Amino acid sequence: MRQTGLGIRIVDVSDARAVNRLLTPAAREDRAFTRQVQRIVHGVKAEGDRALLRFARRFDGLAAPMEVSADEMRDGAARVDPAVTRAIRRAAANIARVAFRQIPKHWDLEVTPGVVIEQRVEPIARVGCYVPGGRFPLPSSLLMTAVPARVAGVREVIAVCPRPEPAVMAAALEAGVTKLFRIGGAHAVAALAYGTKTIPRVDKIVGPGNRFVAAAKAIVAGRCAIDFYAGPTEIVIVAGGAGGGRPEWIAADLIAQAEHDPDARSVFITWRRSLAVRVAKAVARRGAGRAIVARSLRAHGAIIVTKTPDEAMALANRFAPEHLVVDREALIKRPVTAGAVFVGAYTAQAAGDYATGSNHVLPTAGAARFRGGLSAADFVRVMSVQRMTRAGLAGLAPTIVALARAEGLEAHAESIEVRLWRSSHQSPASARALVTRATARLARAPKARRRPATSHRP
């Protein structure tokens, strides 16, 4: 292992212990912290606005009214730099265009004669969007949560932000937020999940936040749907093509991620050791004087040198990172595991944070193994509507009855037979005989041929 002046390590892939530490950072089990968050959540659940105001004054420094009025939002938006206002408008338009394509489609299908299945898609009634308000205002996070909700047809979009700066207010107006409240932290999550006299109870909470927010979302998840648990942000870059990569560009992306948080993970994987050294030197130059970047890279950053591109991508998939950046298309001609993928030298990860239209609310800590980022599909309910005729039921009766009795559920089987008996004025025995004959016909029918499934698109 080699250490650079800034503290980013160069690790050989053969150093299994170092690689595994990067793959699975030590979990922080802080029981006192968990109890603290539980007390906040349960306090708001039990006392409503009284507890919410107490926590908001203590943690958020709340002095103004809890709700940001429409007039205040308009006044705040009017103070925003016109260039920022235009940027908010364009970013919102791009997010909306992508979100529209993400909505699941309605369809009707006749599975067999007399048996029709409809897929019905309906929006969630009310959602809560959490907008962080720590060191920097984050209007982009409001756009990334509220715009897809509106595109999906959500009627009420409730946003919370501990310190809504004018840019956040401008974003709220552009996104069509119904109400904006100046609260944050675990108490805001609890208020959205359980409702208070002031804060409407929502059906789902989305959006990133600090560890108080993440812990509170995990606590309320049994009562209110959430998008996913969001941990510290992370990036994995894989590069080393014939052009040798651009060390300054790669270093800039690593530093951009590290500036978020001392716990952020920034990892570069390459099969060219000379490129690894050049990137490490570029990181040292560009990161000089940035305290949070230095802490993040020293604790969670690394450059890993593999033997081949295939080994590099296999390792990236083990990370299952929030953001995966690759220097060329050939690297993703295989199954890929990541929250979002950025292909090519000009596809800067920061572009996806703001303006491409793809969502920047993404799974972290390996959760990309089982889901992707936030999308308009997260704001709708997909229901199955089933319709059958008598002939349709009779055609499926052999299958239903055989499986019901195999599972020992006699009443299930009888609920089918009684319909066929009453419809045909037959006795129960005659209905069973009808089902038996149909079962025999089904057994003699030719088997359906199945096409093999593919794991990915080339």
Counting residues of the chain whose pLDDT is more than 70, the rounded percentage is 89
Q: Kindly report the CA angle at 271 between 21 and 248, in degrees rounded to 5?
A: 90
Can you tell me the mean pLDDT for 252-258?
96
pLDDT tens figures, 37-83:
999 999 999 999 999 999 999 999 998 899 999 999 999 999 999 99
Q: Which residues contact 37 (CB under 8 A, 6 or more apart)?
A: 186, 212, 215, 216, 219
| Active-site annotation holder among 187, 322, 360, 417 | 322
End-to-end CA distance of the chain: give it in Å, rounded: 36
Q: Which of 139, 150, 182 is nearest to 163 (CA)?
A: 182
Q: Where are the domains of the chain?
A: 2-18+231-370, 48-105+123-226, 389-444
> Among 40-44, 200-204, 285-289, where is mean pLDDT lowest?
285-289
- Distance between CA 291 and CA 296 in Å, rounded? 9
Query: HSE (CB half, 13 Å, CA atoms) of 323?
Result: 29
Model pLDDT, residue 245: 75
Fold of 2-18+231-370: Rossmann fold (3.40.50)
Positive or negative torsion for Cα 115, 116, 119, 120:
negative
Positive or negative torsion for Cα 65, 180, 259, 297:
positive
Q: What is the pTM of this model?
A: 0.89
- Of the two residues 244 and 337, the one the predictor is more confident about is 337
Model pLDDT, residue 451: 46
Q: Which of 160, 142, 154, 141 is nearest to 199 (CA)?
A: 160
Active site residue 456: no
Same topology, domains 2-18+231-370 and 48-105+123-226? Answer is yes
Model pLDDT, residue 135: 73
Model pLDDT, residue 421: 79
| Active-site annotation holder among 323, 407, 410, 414 | 323
Can you tell me the mean pLDDT for 196-210?
96
pLDDT tens figures, 98-146:
999 999 999 999 999 999 999 999 999 999 999 998 777 899 999 999 9
425 — phi, psi (to 5°)? 55, 35
Active site residue 311: no
Token pair 């119904």: residue:
178
Q: Using the CB atoms, write b or e for 160-177: b if 16+ within 10 Å.
A: bbbbbbbbbbbbbbbbeb
Domain 48-105+123-226 annotated CATH 3.40.50.300: no
Model pLDDT, residue 261: 87
Q: Which of 231, 195, 202 is nearest to 215 (CA)?
A: 231
